[in-house]
Structure formats: structure tokens, C-alpha cells
Structure 1
């Protein structure tokens, strides 16, 4: 029997991805949304400070508009995101209201973080919201305003990295990254026999090699951005857990110290 993890997490950021929130037909997964709202509410009522970083605006927008494929043109993606974001926050709000909670939406662009005055303003907003007893801050990148070309100064790059940046900003104790994979493996678990890491203490040569090596920029697909986020978390001496998000109740098990997913920690 494995020992329980010692997690002292009072301020928690939870990140959930599009593939967990949205069915293949672009319809929202209401079971996941309601379950997540229940968990967030339970933690808040228990005295925890919680922030949700949620993807899904474009996915939900595609469902609202009846689109089968994601638009290629950037301006059309931004329009779909604008439509989807309002629907997504409504779904969260309806789910949270069943627990006497409300959603507090914050849409961010990278320049907000980079300019001192706007940085101070967003920090003040976070600090005030975290003290509101029935409010759950829900963060997304402002996709309708950012430009999607690589390295544009208004864009974070992805919500994995945004969740790490938010964790750094508010000095969170723990980032729980809910994904469609149940941890970090020494290879592709869908293609070969692999071993899951229980704990990763540094994004070193061994971890980079396990993800595919330097040539792949930390590997391919979603693991690239997750390792970049983990690197930011470790740099600030924080902790992150990568776990399967299909049942958000897993968050409660994680906080109870169960050995779930992969823990990234320099301790």
C-alpha cells in the first residue's frame, strides 16, 4: 500500500481542458460541469480558496452554431469563441447556483500581465474575489481578442500555461490539471507498455526524453504544454498534479492525499 501524499493546499487552481468538458459532437458534458461545480462549491464551503481555469469556449461555440469543424480563419475562431464563452459561463453559473455559489468570470490576455498597472489591477481583482464567500473565479484566455499566431504578445499560448501563470500570480499552493490522461508516462500509454511517474521533481533530461526528447519540444500533443506548465510551477516552488478529469470528484481524493495522477513537486 502506497503512503499518502502530504498536500497542504489552501489556495488551489484547477484547470480543465476542452476534451474533458465537451463531447465529440461539440455538446457540453453536463455531468462533468455539474460534478466540477459541486466539487468547487464543496471546497469553497470548507474554507479553501479555489480558482478554475477552463477551456472550452470554441468547443461550446461550435455546438451552439452547429459547426462540425473548427473554423480555419482566425477571425471566425474568435467569433465562435465569443459566442461559446457566454454559453460556457452560463452553464457554470447554473451548475454553481445549485450549490448557492456564483461564477465570477475573468478573461485574460498576456499584455494584462506584462503591463504594471493592469497587472496590479488583475491582482487586486483576484484578491477581492478570493475573499467573496460564494464566488468561484473562472478564468479563460480572451480568445475573441487575442491573436492566435505563434508568439503574439497578447497570447498566453494555451490554457495549460495560463493555469500555471495564474497559480504563480495568486501564489497558489497547488495546481490540479485535469486532462484526458491520468498522469505522466515514460512513453505513449496508448501505444506501448509504459510506466506512470508517481512524482516528478524536475523537468530534466530524463523527463524530456520520456516525453519524446528535445527535438519534439517536450513531446507531441497535449503533454508539451503540460510539461511547460509544470516547469513554471516548479520554478516557483509550487506543486502540480496531472490527473484524469473525466470524474471531477477525483479532486477531493487528491486533496485527501490519495496517490492519484502524477505529482510535480521540488520537495
Structure 2
């Protein structure tokens, strides 16, 4: 059965943590997995972070910019390079893609919301995989989503997706950050977001120095998506083949 799937991948999965360079092997696996889902008849949207991180790498910067103007300039450098990488890899598999850059006002104003919906629907009808990112080059603070976890949840809600997959640098949700807490417990299934409070889940604020998200934003995104009826999964970005396994019923991620 054909389903509509939104996949979000973060900077921590797209780049190498020590250098900030693109993790090409991971990106190639993501491209292969999403192309395979398309061939199975599913409609797929990819929400991809990474423009600022790639821009930093291209310009030789060693840390993420702090000022809005610098972030916008670096994003302008990185976005073109990022989409070119995706286009080269998807083209090798004969899968057409489209670049869609959004600001918060595109989903807040009724006329622009309807236009965004129609554009996504037409792209999906054409068999295209839209690659979505925040328009970091132009968005000012009050027009920003804040992170692409939130953006992906809003896009999933907009198009009435069946699934939202949040690909991250851990394999599932834990009671604490497993990279720093050896007693962190894996959480296999959450039926209601409010259950996390009862489980005393501690969530970190950020993923890596190159990204803006973290488990807090993923849980917030899950709240947005599940409220709209979108089933949400957090799973490991370096194993995108898990998406297909989860769709087939395997219990991977949360």
C-alpha cells in the first residue's frame, strides 16, 4: 500500500563530527533507501539540514557562526553545495528531486500555506522527491522555524503524511543521553508524548556543535506530528535502511 513518508535527517548524521565534512557514505545510503521507497510506490519528502554546516566546511570555518548575517551568508554557500550532492546521487539512480526552501510565514499565512500544499502535492504526483530546508539565507529570527525537526513535523502535518521519520545520531529514544550516561534506558514505544514525563526522560539540548537540534526538538516535533495523526519514529541516521524495515513491521527506533 502506498504511503506518504517524510524523512528528516540532521546535520549530526549528514556530517562527520570531528571535521564537519559531508558524510558521503551516509548520504548515499539515504539516497538509495529513499529511491527504493519511491520505486515501491511510496510518496517521499526529505527534510535535510546541513546548509550551514556544509558552508562552514567550504569556507574553512571551525565553528558554527553566531550572528544571523553570518549564518545567512554561510547557508547561502552551503545550500547550493548540499543540493548538488543530493542531485548527483539521486540522478545516478534516475530519481528526480526538487529543492523547496521555506520560512515560517509560508506555513503561517493561509494563501501561502495553500500554495505550499499544492506545490508539494504536484511534486509528489510527478514522482519527485522534494528536498526541504529552511530558507536560512533570507529568514530573520521571527520567521525561523528554529530547527528542522519542527519544520519536518509541520511539513508532515501540511501534506497529511502517514509517517515522519526523524533520523538522528542515536538509534532510538533513551531515558538520558546514552553517549554520556551508561545507565540510559532505551524506550521502545511511546503511545502518548505525555508518558515521557512519567518515565522521567531527560533529553539533551543539542546534538552536535554543527547542528541546532537535539532530543528536545525531536520530542516537540513528535508532539506536533502525532497531534496531526502522523506516526512518528526516531531512529539512527547512519542506518536509513531501517525505514523500510520499520514500514514492514520491525520494531526499530521509537
Query: TM-score of the superposition, structure 1-length normalised?
Result: 0.87
Which of 245, 251, 263 is 2:237 aligned to?
Answer: 245
Q: Give the deviation of 1:165 after TM superposition.
A: 0.3
Which of 66, 74, 79 is 1:80 aligned to?
Answer: 74
1:224 aligns with 2:219: no
Partner residue in 2 for 1:162: 151
- What is the CA deviation profile of residues 62-90 of structure 1, one whole-angstrom value per residue up to 9, with x for unaligned ones? 11111112222210110000110010000
Give yes or no for contact 2:2–2:41 (8 Å, CA) kept in 1.
no
- What is the CA deviation profile of residues 152-207 of structure 1, one whole-angstrom value per residue up to 9, with x for unaligned ones? 2x111110011100000000000011000111112232313132111101121643
* Aligned residue pair count: 245
Partner residue in 2 for 1:146: 139
1:109 aligns with 2:99: no
1-structure distance, mates of 2:123, 2:25: 26
Give yes or no for contact 2:2–2:43 (8 Å, CA) kept in 1.
no
Give yes or no for contact 1:164–1:233 (8 Å, CA) kept in 2.
yes
Partner residue in 2 for 1:202: 192
- What is the CA deviation profile of residues 78-105 of structure 1, one whole-angstrom value per residue up to 9, with x for unaligned ones? 0000110010000000000011012200
Unpaired stretches in structure 2, ≥5 consecutive residues = 207-213
Q: Give the deviation of 1:9 after TM superposition.
A: 6.7
Secondary structure of 1:253's aligned partner: helix
Partner residue in 2 for 1:98: 92
Change beyond 3 A, Cα 1:31–1:208: farther
Query: TM-score of the superposition, structure 2-length normalised?
Result: 0.92
